[in-house]
Structure 1
Amino acid sequence: MENELGFISQMFDTLYLFPEELEDIEIPEEELEKEEEKAVEKTAEVEKTPAITPKKVIRKQLPTDYYGENKRNIVIFIEHSGVDIFRSKEFQLLLKILGALQLTLQEVAVINVLEQKDNLDTLVKKLQPKFFLYFVNQNESPLSGEKVAKYIPTEIDGHQAVAADGLTKLLLDVEKKRDLWMALKALFEL
């Protein structure tokens, strides 16, 4: 039995013995002492390790009404019905569009029209926009219901603006992306 256990213990890292098997095995004193020394060393190491204190985390509170910080007073209207907007392909496309315009999310205010239907007018007044960008599926402004021409720089609701199809449609249509880029270049004089 001891020869079998010696062979098996070399083959496996951990060896589990059942109570009835333990009765026949004699463990040499040297091995017991080694195990006790290892346990004492581990305890000493744990005691030497300094206590980890949590760092203070400062979290910037994001507005719940819109995304971004609106530093350049550019309001972007989108329609997004998914749960996690930041991980969506549509939001990634929007970030690429902003990058092409040399803008960041901090410089704009992105309003999800589907979430802000009731207080859209109040929110827009608070943001004091200079430009509007519409990425909505309807052919009307979500603010006034005014008809909007898509992919043409124009004035909508009293502001310089460009309207385009929703971001989901833009993801799949290269021609519409090209038209959008031409309209945005004209609007921002790039």
Structure 2
Amino acid sequence: MLESNVDFLPFFFQEPVYVVDEAQGETVYQPLGENRCRILLLVEELETHHVSDSGKELLEKILLALKLSFEDVCLVNVSHCKTPNQLESKLEFKSCISFGMPPEDWQFSNFSRKYEVIKDESERAFLWADPLSEIATDVEKKKALWLSLKTLFLTE
């Protein structure tokens, strides 16, 4: 609205008029982790801000096996952070693991096949895995994830 004074609005409308500041529509998302190793983890869980307790427990085990912790990664729940621009801090990563297919705005590279590590022209690595809830209950998916993680991290 060009006019900053809204006192005239009641003369035009009989119903209550609410003026919404445009800045209120922009939500800023605080990811989990400190991103020390520049590793981006993407999850999509509607019921929780970051990750469910069971998902967090599984991620802790995965990170521990890789000699990492949540301080080393940046965990983003894409159901609450629709685009990278909504992050509180600048997003820098050298590896991205997506647990489930990320929304288009989060597809920095072509996630073509599950459990296949793909590198882009700037040597950033991408791995598309099943959602954490599926990995937790399926031994074959755990094995596939571990083989991919070994390719991604333990050979560097």
Q: When the two structures are superposed, what TM-score results if normalisation uses the length of structure 2?
A: 0.69
> Is 1:67–2:32 an aligned residue pair?
yes
- In the alignment, structure 2 segments of 5+ residues that lack a partner are 1-27
The aligned counterpart of 1:127 is: 91
Look up the equivalent residue of 2:30 and give its one-letter code: D
Higher relative contact order (CA 8 A, sep 6+): 2
Q: Taking every aligned residue pair, what percent have the same amino acid on both sides?
A: 30
> Is 1:144–2:125 an aligned residue pair?
no
- In the alignment, structure 1 segments of 5+ residues that lack a partner are 1-62
Judge conservation of contact 2:50–2:75 (CA < 8 Å) in 1.
Answer: no
Look up the equivalent residue of 1:143 and give its one-letter code: W
- Greater fraction of residues in helix: 1
In structure 1, how many angstroms separate the alpha carbons of the residues matched to 2:44 and 2:87? 16
> Shift in Å at residue 88 of structure 1?
1.6
Look up the equivalent residue of 1:144 and give its one-letter code: Q
Judge conservation of contact 2:40–2:76 (CA < 8 Å) in 1.
Answer: yes
The aligned counterpart of 1:164 is: 129
In structure 1, how many angstroms separate the alpha carbons of the residues matched to 2:72 and 2:117? 20
Larger of the two Rg values belongs to structure:
1
Deviation digits for residues 42-65 of structure 1 (CA, Å, limit 9, x no counterpart) = xxxxxxxxxxxxxxxxxxxxx942
Q: Runs ≥4 in structure 1, deviation > 6 angstroms?
A: none
Count of aligned positions? 126
Q: How does 1:171-182 map to 2 (within 5 A)?
A: 171-182=136-147
The aligned counterpart of 1:9 is: none
Q: When the two structures are superposed, what TM-score results if normalisation uses the length of structure 1?
A: 0.57
In structure 2, how many angstroms separate the alpha carbons of the residues matched to 1:157 and 1:143? 17
